[in-house]
C-alpha cells in the first residue's frame, strides 16, 4: 500500500474544531503539511486556527471554513473554492462525527438518520467532492476515514453508530482497491476510547445522563481513554507506513484479532458487555 508523507501535502481535516480533528491538524502542521480545515462549529474551528498560529504554524493553514458535511451542495461548493484557490488535495482526512447510542425500543428514526447522515454520508460527500480531482491530478495521495471500534464489534447499544461506522468501513475496503490504480492509499482508523468532547455529548437515548451510575460509567471510560493527541499520532503513523487499518489503542487491536481467530470468546465478551451495560444504564437490567 502507498506510503504517504505529510511534508508539503495539502491536507483536508474535517472535524478540526475539537478532539481528534484538532489534534490531527496540529500533527499534520508539525510534519510540514498545508492545512484545509473545516468543522460545523465556527468557534471551535477559530480556536484551532488560533492555537496553530500560537504554535508558529500560521503559514500552514491554507484555508479554513465552517461547514456542515451533511449538506452535499455545501461540500461541493467548498471543494470548488479549494480547487480554485489552491489545488487538488493530497490527503483527505474524514474525522468529523457524532455518536448516538440506545436500545432499539427507545430509538426513533431521527436518531438513526442523523447518525448515518453525519458519520457515513458526511464522509461520502467529502470523498465525492474531493477524490475525483485527486484522481485527475495523477499525483497519488491518501484518503483517511475515521471509523470506530463500533465499526468492528457489536458493542452494546451502538446500533445507529455501528450502522454508520460499519458502512464507512465497507466503503473504505472497496476504495482501498479501487484507488490503488491511481496511487491513492486508503486508511481506515478504528479508535477505541478517546478522551474527546464526544464523550460528554454522546446521545444515549432513554438514559438520564445525570444518573450517578451513568456518571460513574463515563468516568471509567475517560480513565481508560487515550488522549486525542495519541490517537492522532497513531493515525498519522499508519498513513505514513502505508497501513490500511489503524488502531489507536492495543485493546482494539486485541479485540479485532479475537473476533477473527477466537469467535467463541468474542461472543462471550460481547454478551458480558451487553449485560453490564443493561445493569449500569437501565434499572433492573431490563
Q: Check 161, 257, 261, 266 and give the catalytic one.
A: 161
In the chain, DSSP assigns E strands to: 10-14, 34-39, 61-66, 91-94, 100-102, 141-146, 184-190, 203-205, 245-247
CA distance 270 to 174: 27
**Nearest-CA neighbor of 89 among 25, 138, 133?**
133
**Nearest-CA neighbor of 174 among 134, 143, 135?**
143
Query: Do residues 192 and 230 make contact, with C-beta atoms less than 8 angstroms apart?
Result: no
Is residue 161 part of the annotated active site? The answer reads yes
Query: Do residues 100 and 145 make contact, with C-beta atoms less than 8 angstroms apart?
Result: no
Q: Which three cell numbers stand for residue 35?
A: 492545512
Q: What are phi and psi of 199, to 5 degrees?
A: -60, -40
Q: Which three cell numbers stand for residue 100?
A: 448516538
Query: Do residues 29 and 57 make contact, with C-beta atoms less than 8 angstroms apart?
Result: yes
* Torsion of Cα atoms, 78 then 83 then 85 then 89, to 10°: 100
Q: Which residues are catalytic?
A: 161
Amino acid at each position: 500500500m502507498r506510503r504517504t508523507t505529510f511534508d508539503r501535502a495539502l491536507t483536508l481535516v474535517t472535524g478540526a474544531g475539537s478532539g481528534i480533528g484538532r489534534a490531527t491538524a496540529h500533527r499534520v502542521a508539525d510534519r510540514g503539511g498545508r492545512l484545509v480545515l473545516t468543522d460545523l462549529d465556527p468557534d471551535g474551528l477559530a480556536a484551532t486556527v488560533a492555537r496553530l498560529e500560537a504554535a508558529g504554524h500560521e503559514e500552514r493553514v491554507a484555508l479554513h471554513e465552517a461547514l456542515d458535511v451533511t449538506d452535499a451542495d455545501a461540500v461541493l461548493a467548498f471543494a470548488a473554492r479549494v480547487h480554485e484557490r489552491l489545488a487538488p488535495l493530497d490527503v483527505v482526512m474524514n474525522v468529523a462525527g457524532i455518536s448516538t447510542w440506545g436500545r432499539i425500543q427507545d430509538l426513533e428514526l431521527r436518531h438513526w438518520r442523523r447518525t448515518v447522515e453525519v458519520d457515513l454520508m458526511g464522509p461520502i460527500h467529502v470523498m465525492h467532492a474531493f477524490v475525483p480531482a485527486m484522481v485527475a491530478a495523477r499525483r497519488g495521495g491518501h484518503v483517511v476515514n475515521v471509523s470506530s471500534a463500533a465499526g468492528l464489534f457489536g458493542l452494546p447499544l451502538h446500533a445507529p453508530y455501528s450502522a454508520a461506522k460499519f458502512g464507512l468501513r465497507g466503503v473504505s475496503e472497496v476504495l482501498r482497491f479501487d484507488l490503488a490504480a491511481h496511487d491513492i492509499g486508503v486508511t481506515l482508523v478504528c479508535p477505541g476510547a478517546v478522551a474527546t468532547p464526544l464523550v460528554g455529548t454522546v446521545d444515549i437515548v432513554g438514559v438520564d445522563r445525570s444518573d450517578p451510575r451513568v456518571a460513574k460509567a463515563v468516568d471509567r471510560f475517560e480513565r481508560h481513554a487515550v488522549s486525542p493527541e495519541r490517537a492522532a499520532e497513531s493515525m498519522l503513523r499508519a498513513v505514513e507506513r502505508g497501513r490500511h487499518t489503524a488502531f489507536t489503542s492495543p485493546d482494539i487491536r486485541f479485540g479485532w484479532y479475537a473476533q477473527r481467530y477466537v469467535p467463541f470468546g468474542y461472543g462471550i465478551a460481547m454478551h458480558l458487555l451487553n449485560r453490564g451495560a443493561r445493569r449500569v444504564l437501565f434499572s433492573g437490567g431490563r
